[in-house]
Amino acid sequence: MKKVKIKPQKREVDKISLKRGKPEPTYIDSHIHLSDEAYQGKIEAVLEQAEREGVRIVIANSEDLETSLKTLRIAESHPLKVLPAIGVHPWAAPEIEAEELGEVVELIARCKGKLAAVGEVGLDTAYTRGNLEAWKRQREVFHSMLEAAEKAGLPVIAHSRRSSLEVFEESASYRVKMVFHWFSGEIKVLKRILDAGCYITVGPSICYSRHIQRVAGETPLSRVMTETDGPVKYKGPFQNLETTPALIPKVVEKIAEVKRSSLEEVAAQIVGNCRRLFARVNEALE
């Protein structure tokens, strides 16, 4: 039999690049209310969706004793994904009894090693509507929260709707670091806040609010954080969407557009800001 010489076939080999692609950005939602009924039965799904979008950490805020305890339980079930912040919200302050306030103060002291911050606390003149007794009680409760934060060595997440100057001035005598959640006040007040070393958070409203875009534009990236304040609903492109941490990449994208920076640069800076301000973020990202 005649031997047939078989020529080896040339095969096209796909070239494999040894260059690594850019790592996906990491995001943090620094203000959400997971204890709210809107998230009941959904927390696992919300956190899984957030992780798929690169949101590694959420800081869960509280409003009173009940939600503070619930927030702590949620955080215990999701270690290093949910970092708790506990305190008394200004809307709850006028009605809170002295005993409950004392229990929240005690809880902050007892759980300080588990907490990212004291929050959400502060003042809100839009809520008190000229009621001097309610305003007085808000201030008393806020001072209790500031004192508790100072003793615990924790930062403060401040609510300051129509009260940003008052929150800034009331807190000036305390040795606490502070972030003004969803800052929407006057630019001249913003400058004072920033000069004092405080931070602000920016949320989904930056995608349609010119004022929030201006606030972000006037704030150095080194003082900006991102939030959703879920379950609060938003307008614009988020009109029919549930508010979850998965919206954070869109917020960072808009901040990058306003600041004329890359998304990666803005995301990295915001994570760095959170590392510097909030307790336990470094631990959670390791």
- 215-253 pLDDT, tens digit each: 999 999 999 999 999 999 999 999 999 999 999 999 999
Domain range list for the chain: 34-285
Residue 14 has pLDDT above 50, yes or no: no
CA gap 127, 112 in Å, rounded: 29
- Average pLDDT score over residue span 157-174: 97
pLDDT score for 9:
46
pLDDT of 135 > 80? The answer is: yes
Q: What is the pLDDT of residue 22?
A: 66
Arithmetic mean of pLDDT over the chain = 93
Is pLDDT of 3 > 70? no
User: What is d(CA 66, CA 116) in angstroms, rounded to the nearest whole number?
Assistant: 18
| 280 band by pLDDT with thresholds 50, 70 and 90 | very high
pLDDT over 70, % of the chain = 92
* H helical segments located in 112-247: 125-128, 132-152, 164-171, 187-195, 210-218
> Which residue in the block uniquely carries the two structure tokens 């869109």?
250
Other C-beta atoms closer than 10 Å to the C-beta of 102 total 13
Residue 80 has pLDDT above 80, yes or no: yes
Residue 126 burial (CB count, 10 A): 11
Locus of tokens 């990295």: 268
Q: How much of the chain exceeds pLDDT 90, in percent?
A: 90
Is pTM beyond 0.85? Reply is yes
Residue 28 has pLDDT above 60, yes or no: yes
Task: Say if residues 226 and 202 touch (Cβ distance below 8 Å).
Answer: yes
> Which CATH code of 3.40.50.720, 3.40.50.2000, 3.30.70.2740, 3.20.20.140 fits the domain covering 34-285?
3.20.20.140
Kindly state the average pLDDT of the residues 190-210.
98
Q: What is the pLDDT of residue 23?
A: 75
Question: What pLDDT, on the 0 to 100 scale, is given for residue 19?
Answer: 41
In the chain the beta strands, taken as DSSP E runs, fall at 27-32, 55-60, 82-86, 117-122, 156-159, 178-181, 199-202, 224-226
In angstroms, the CA 102 to CA 179 distance is 24
Confidence label for 286 from pLDDT (cuts 50, 70 and 90): confident
- Cα–Cα distance measured from residue 216 to residue 184, given in angstroms and rounded to the nearest whole number: 10
**Alpha-carbon distances, residue 177 vs 6, 154, 157 (angstroms):** 77, 8, 9
Distance CA 284, CA 175 (A): 25
Residue 21: count of CB within 10 angstroms of its CB: 6
What value does the mean pLDDT take over residues 67-82?
A: 98
pLDDT of 196 higher than 70: yes
